[in-house]
Amino acid sequence: MAAKKSSSLNFSSGDFVVYPKHGVGRVMEIQRTEIAGEALELYVLRFEKEKMTLRVPTLKAETVGMRKLSSQATLADAMTTLKGKPKVKRTMWSRRAQEYEAKINSGDLVSIAEVVRDLHRAEDQPEQSYSERQIFEAAIGRLARELAALEGTNEDEAQEKIVGVLVKKAAAAAKVAKTAQIEDQAEAA
């Protein structure tokens, strides 16, 4: 009989983990069970926001993309991404929406930050469509939950921090635009 391949991921009860399609969850326990005569070890994950429990075979955790929380360096990259200039492609919304959903479901913190950055609307910008708003809310929620777990705060505080970065960036961009407008008027006079 062939030896079973063991996962390089080892989580303990109480650990926060990221499951790509659901975001941040917590390992509640490691369960041993028998299914079809086969002994199986499962991570029992709890996602509080969704009020959902998920059981993931320990040997499949890596294949499904389950991972530890991001490093401080990755978090710093994500926060820097939020400060960048939005990149909005001029493709059909349905295509962009699929790309945004794929980035959110990738579980990659920097990709999720890109979606938040690209879909954020400042006060002086046109309102988002319902579907844009839904995707933005999903992305900022996912980003905020991981930020909260990393910093030991709650999701609301983490979301306020993210929005603060976005608002500050928008204010700086508005100031640059206003300065350019004043300079243009001075040159025209």
CATH number, domain of 127, equals 1.20.58.1290
Residue 8: inside a domain = no
The answer on pLDDT for 181 being more than 80 is no
pLDDT of residue 3: 37
Q: What is the pLDDT of residues 2-39, one digit of tens each?
A: 334 444 578 999 999 999 889 999 999 999 998 888 89
Residue 10: inside a domain = no
- Same-domain pairing of 105 and 49: no
The span from the CA of 86 to the CA of 2, in Å, is 51
- Same-domain pairing of 160 and 125: yes
pLDDT of residue 189: 62
From residue 6, give the alpha-carbon distance in Å to each of 9, 13, 58, 141. 9, 18, 8, 33
H-helix segments, 17-86: 72-83
Residue 83: inside a domain = yes
pLDDT of residue 89: 82
Residue 2: inside a domain = no
pLDDT of residue 7: 46
- Same-domain pairing of 43 and 80: no
Q: What is the pLDDT of residues 126-177, one digit of tens each?
A: 788 899 999 999 999 999 999 999 999 999 999 999 999 998 887 776 666 6
pLDDT of residue 176: 64
CA-CA-CA-CA dihedral for 32, 13, 142, 138, to nearest 10: 40
pLDDT of residue 2: 37
pLDDT of residue 6: 43
Integer-rounded Cα radius of gyration of the chain: 21
Pick the more confident residue, 2 or 179: 179
- Same-domain pairing of 35 and 59: yes
Residue 107: inside a domain = yes
Residue 160: inside a domain = yes
Which of 7, 40, 68 is the endpoint of a domain? 68
Q: What is the pLDDT of residues 58-110, one digit of tens each?
A: 999 999 989 999 999 999 999 999 999 888 788 899 999 999 999 999 989 99
Residue 138: inside a domain = yes
H-helix segments, the chain: 72-83, 93-106, 109-119, 130-151, 155-188
Q: How many residues does the chain have?
A: 189
**How many domains is the chain built from?**
2
> Which residue range is the domain that position 26 belongs to?
16-68
Residue 11: inside a domain = no
